[in-house]
Amino acid sequence: MFEFGSNLLWLDRVETITQAEVWLELHTPDTAKAAKHLDESNVVRCDTVEKLPEGFDGFWISSPANIVHLVHGRREDV
């Protein structure tokens, strides 16, 4: 992990991914409201991209450019 001011860059190895990808992370105070808004805006959910921990307050989406985003309600301690 690299920290640039308030931005973090994670370099992770994921066994199911065969090529380099850029994934972005978004924080929201209300994941249910965010999910509803994104659904109404026809944003594609892609929760199968990587299993999230049980009870995790978040979900995966894909942008129109097929960039994966993690939307979640709390910032994890790193």
CATH class, 23-78 region: alpha beta
Burial class (CB within 10 angstroms; exposed 0-12, middle 13-18, buried 19+) of 76: exposed
**Partners of 66 in beta bridges:** none
Q: Write the DSSP assignment of 28-54 as a string of letters.
A: -S-HHHHHHHHHHTTPEE-TTSSPPPT
For the chain, the domains span 23-78
Instruction: Using pLDDT thresholds of 50, 70 and 90, give the confidence band for residue 76.
Output: low
pTM for this prediction: 0.72
22-66 pLDDT per residue, tens? 788 889 999 999 999 999 999 989 999 889 999 999 999 998 888
